[in-house]
Amino acid sequence: MARAGVTAERLTLAAAELADEIGMENVTVAALARHFGVKDASLYFHIRNGHDLRVRVALLALAELADRVASALAGRAGKDALVAFATAYRAYAKEHPGRYAAMQIDLDPETAAASAGIRHAEMTRAILRGYRLAEPDQTDAVRMMHSTFHGFVSLERTGGFRHTPRSADDSWTRTLDALDAVLSNWPA
Protein backbone atom coordinates (compact mmCIF):
# COMPACT_ATOMS: atom_id res chain seq x y z
CA MET A 1 0.00 0.00 0.00
CA ALA A 2 1.09 3.57 -0.70
CA ARG A 3 3.06 5.16 2.09
CA ALA A 4 1.99 8.59 3.17
CA GLY A 5 5.46 9.59 4.29
CA VAL A 6 4.43 10.66 7.74
CA THR A 7 7.18 11.74 10.11
CA ALA A 8 7.08 13.29 13.56
CA GLU A 9 8.27 16.58 12.06
CA ARG A 10 5.58 16.70 9.39
CA LEU A 11 2.98 15.76 11.99
CA THR A 12 4.11 18.52 14.29
CA LEU A 13 4.07 21.12 11.55
CA ALA A 14 0.65 20.03 10.32
CA ALA A 15 -0.66 20.07 13.88
CA ALA A 16 0.66 23.60 14.33
CA GLU A 17 -1.02 24.79 11.14
CA LEU A 18 -4.22 23.04 12.10
CA ALA A 19 -4.05 24.72 15.51
CA ASP A 20 -3.76 28.14 13.90
CA GLU A 21 -6.78 27.41 11.72
CA ILE A 22 -9.20 25.69 14.06
CA GLY A 23 -7.79 26.29 17.53
CA MET A 24 -5.47 24.16 19.61
CA GLU A 25 -8.33 22.52 21.50
CA ASN A 26 -9.65 21.07 18.24
CA VAL A 27 -6.37 19.53 17.18
CA THR A 28 -6.95 15.84 17.71
CA VAL A 29 -4.97 12.80 16.70
CA ALA A 30 -7.94 11.70 14.63
CA ALA A 31 -8.18 15.02 12.76
CA LEU A 32 -4.48 14.95 12.05
CA ALA A 33 -4.71 11.41 10.70
CA ARG A 34 -7.53 12.47 8.38
CA HIS A 35 -5.37 15.32 7.15
CA PHE A 36 -2.71 12.83 6.08
CA GLY A 37 -5.23 10.36 4.67
CA VAL A 38 -4.14 7.80 7.20
CA LYS A 39 -5.77 5.88 10.04
CA ASP A 40 -5.30 7.40 13.47
CA ALA A 41 -3.64 4.27 14.82
CA SER A 42 -0.79 4.80 12.35
CA LEU A 43 0.24 8.05 13.99
CA TYR A 44 1.29 6.30 17.16
CA PHE A 45 4.40 5.07 15.39
CA HIS A 46 5.58 8.66 15.22
CA ILE A 47 4.21 10.24 18.37
CA ARG A 48 3.78 8.73 21.81
CA ASN A 49 0.29 10.11 22.40
CA GLY A 50 -1.82 13.20 22.09
CA HIS A 51 0.03 15.02 24.86
CA ASP A 52 3.34 14.32 23.21
CA LEU A 53 1.99 15.88 20.03
CA ARG A 54 0.95 19.05 21.86
CA VAL A 55 4.34 19.30 23.53
CA ARG A 56 6.02 19.04 20.13
CA VAL A 57 3.88 21.86 18.81
CA ALA A 58 4.76 23.95 21.86
CA LEU A 59 8.48 23.37 21.35
CA LEU A 60 8.18 24.20 17.66
CA ALA A 61 6.38 27.44 18.48
CA LEU A 62 8.92 28.42 21.13
CA ALA A 63 11.76 27.87 18.68
CA GLU A 64 10.04 29.77 15.86
CA LEU A 65 9.25 32.68 18.12
CA ALA A 66 12.80 32.76 19.47
CA ASP A 67 14.12 32.93 15.89
CA ARG A 68 11.77 35.76 15.03
CA VAL A 69 12.65 37.71 18.12
CA ALA A 70 16.35 37.13 17.58
CA SER A 71 16.31 38.56 14.09
CA ALA A 72 14.09 41.46 15.18
CA LEU A 73 16.57 42.24 17.91
CA ALA A 74 19.69 42.19 15.74
CA GLY A 75 21.57 45.46 15.86
CA ARG A 76 19.18 47.18 18.21
CA ALA A 77 19.58 48.40 21.76
CA GLY A 78 17.66 50.23 24.46
CA LYS A 79 14.06 51.16 23.77
CA ASP A 80 14.53 50.24 20.15
CA ALA A 81 15.28 46.68 21.16
CA LEU A 82 12.40 46.62 23.63
CA VAL A 83 9.91 47.68 20.99
CA ALA A 84 11.36 45.28 18.40
CA PHE A 85 11.10 42.37 20.81
CA ALA A 86 7.59 43.22 21.86
CA THR A 87 6.38 43.81 18.32
CA ALA A 88 7.81 40.52 17.08
CA TYR A 89 6.27 38.74 20.04
CA ARG A 90 2.81 40.18 19.53
CA ALA A 91 2.91 39.72 15.76
CA TYR A 92 3.77 36.06 16.15
CA ALA A 93 0.90 35.54 18.57
CA LYS A 94 -1.49 37.25 16.16
CA GLU A 95 -0.33 35.30 13.13
CA HIS A 96 -0.21 32.01 14.97
CA PRO A 97 -2.89 31.93 17.65
CA GLY A 98 -2.89 28.13 17.79
CA ARG A 99 0.87 27.90 18.14
CA TYR A 100 0.76 30.62 20.79
CA ALA A 101 -1.90 28.70 22.71
CA ALA A 102 0.25 25.57 22.49
CA MET A 103 3.12 27.47 24.12
CA GLN A 104 1.01 27.90 27.24
CA ILE A 105 0.84 24.22 28.21
CA ASP A 106 3.18 23.51 31.06
CA LEU A 107 6.18 21.48 30.08
CA ASP A 108 7.87 19.29 32.61
CA PRO A 109 11.05 20.89 33.94
CA GLU A 110 13.62 19.02 31.86
CA THR A 111 11.69 19.54 28.63
CA ALA A 112 11.37 23.22 29.47
CA ALA A 113 15.08 23.41 30.21
CA ALA A 114 15.88 21.95 26.80
CA SER A 115 13.41 24.24 25.01
CA ALA A 116 13.89 27.57 23.30
CA GLY A 117 12.31 29.14 26.39
CA ILE A 118 15.85 29.59 27.64
CA ARG A 119 16.75 31.63 24.56
CA HIS A 120 13.74 33.85 25.26
CA ALA A 121 14.94 34.49 28.76
CA GLU A 122 18.44 35.30 27.53
CA MET A 123 17.16 37.69 24.89
CA THR A 124 14.89 39.45 27.34
CA ARG A 125 17.87 39.84 29.63
CA ALA A 126 19.92 41.16 26.72
CA ILE A 127 17.44 43.99 26.23
CA LEU A 128 18.03 45.05 29.79
CA ARG A 129 21.69 45.66 29.08
CA GLY A 130 20.54 48.98 27.69
CA TYR A 131 18.97 49.85 31.03
CA ARG A 132 21.77 49.08 33.46
CA LEU A 133 19.91 47.06 36.05
CA ALA A 134 21.76 44.92 38.58
CA GLU A 135 20.50 41.71 40.10
CA PRO A 136 17.98 40.97 41.50
CA ASP A 137 16.24 43.94 39.84
CA GLN A 138 17.20 42.52 36.48
CA THR A 139 15.34 39.28 37.09
CA ASP A 140 12.34 41.18 38.40
CA ALA A 141 12.37 43.40 35.33
CA VAL A 142 12.62 40.39 33.01
CA ARG A 143 9.62 38.87 34.72
CA MET A 144 7.65 42.08 34.55
CA MET A 145 8.39 42.52 30.86
CA HIS A 146 7.43 38.99 30.03
CA SER A 147 4.28 39.29 32.13
CA THR A 148 3.26 42.46 30.36
CA PHE A 149 3.81 41.03 26.88
CA HIS A 150 2.11 37.75 27.59
CA GLY A 151 -0.71 39.32 29.57
CA PHE A 152 -1.48 41.90 26.93
CA VAL A 153 -1.44 39.45 24.04
CA SER A 154 -3.46 36.95 26.00
CA LEU A 155 -6.12 39.46 27.04
CA GLU A 156 -6.31 40.87 23.54
CA ARG A 157 -6.85 37.40 22.13
CA THR A 158 -9.65 36.47 24.54
CA GLY A 159 -11.41 39.75 23.89
CA GLY A 160 -10.57 41.47 27.15
CA PHE A 161 -10.23 44.84 25.44
CA ARG A 162 -13.44 44.71 23.44
CA HIS A 163 -15.59 46.73 25.80
CA THR A 164 -13.59 49.94 25.36
CA PRO A 165 -13.31 51.65 21.96
CA ARG A 166 -9.62 52.59 22.32
CA SER A 167 -7.57 50.64 19.78
CA ALA A 168 -5.39 47.85 21.12
CA ASP A 169 -2.50 48.99 18.93
CA ASP A 170 -2.45 52.40 20.56
CA SER A 171 -2.61 50.92 24.05
CA TRP A 172 0.24 48.61 23.09
CA THR A 173 2.43 51.47 21.98
CA ARG A 174 1.75 53.42 25.13
CA THR A 175 2.29 50.36 27.31
CA LEU A 176 5.74 49.95 25.75
CA ASP A 177 6.44 53.64 26.40
CA ALA A 178 5.50 53.07 30.02
CA LEU A 179 7.62 49.96 30.25
CA ASP A 180 10.60 51.82 28.80
CA ALA A 181 10.05 54.64 31.25
CA VAL A 182 10.00 52.38 34.28
CA LEU A 183 12.99 50.36 33.11
CA SER A 184 14.90 53.62 32.66
CA ASN A 185 13.92 54.69 36.12
CA TRP A 186 13.61 51.50 38.12
CA PRO A 187 12.43 52.23 41.69
CA ALA A 188 14.89 51.53 44.49
Partner DNA sequence: GGTAGTAGCCTAGTATCCCTAGGCAGAAAA
Partner DNA sequence: TTTTCTGCCTAGGGATACTAGGCTACTACC
Residues near DNA (CB under 7 A): 1-7, 28-31, 37-42, 44-46, 49-51
Residue 110 makes contact with its own copies by CB under 8 A: no
Which one of 39-47, 64-72, 91-99, 100-108 is the stretch in contact with its own copies (CB under 8 A)? 100-108
Residue 114 makes contact with its own copies by CB under 8 A: no
133 and 186 in contact (C-beta within 8 Å)? yes
In the list DNA, its own copies, none, the entry touching 44 (Cβ below 5 to 8 angstroms by class) is DNA
In the list its own copies, DNA, none, the entry touching 121 (Cβ below 5 to 8 angstroms by class) is its own copies
Question: Which residues have CB under 8 Å from 124's CB, separation 6+?
Answer: 85, 142, 145, 146
Which one of 8-16, 29-37, 65-73, 180-188 is the stretch in contact with its own copies (CB under 8 A)? 180-188
Residue 134 makes contact with its own copies by CB under 8 A: no
In the list its own copies, DNA, none, the entry touching 45 (Cβ below 5 to 8 angstroms by class) is DNA
Question: Which residues have CB under 8 Å from 90's CB, separation 6+?
Answer: 149, 152, 153, 172
Number of residues written out for the chain: 188
Residue 126 makes contact with its own copies by CB under 8 A: no
Rounded Cα distance between 5 and 37, Å, is 11
Q: Is the peptide bond before 165 cis (omega within 30 degrees of 0)?
A: no
138 and 124 in contact (C-beta within 8 Å)? no
Which one of 14-22, 34-42, 87-95, 169-177 is the stretch in contact with its own copies (CB under 8 A)? 169-177
Residue 161 makes contact with its own copies by CB under 8 A: yes
79 and 173 in contact (C-beta within 8 Å)? no
Instruction: Give the nearer residue to its own copies in terms of CB position, either 6 or 65.
Output: 65
Residue 28 burial class via C-beta count within 10 angstroms: exposed 0-12, middle 13-18, buried 19 and up: middle
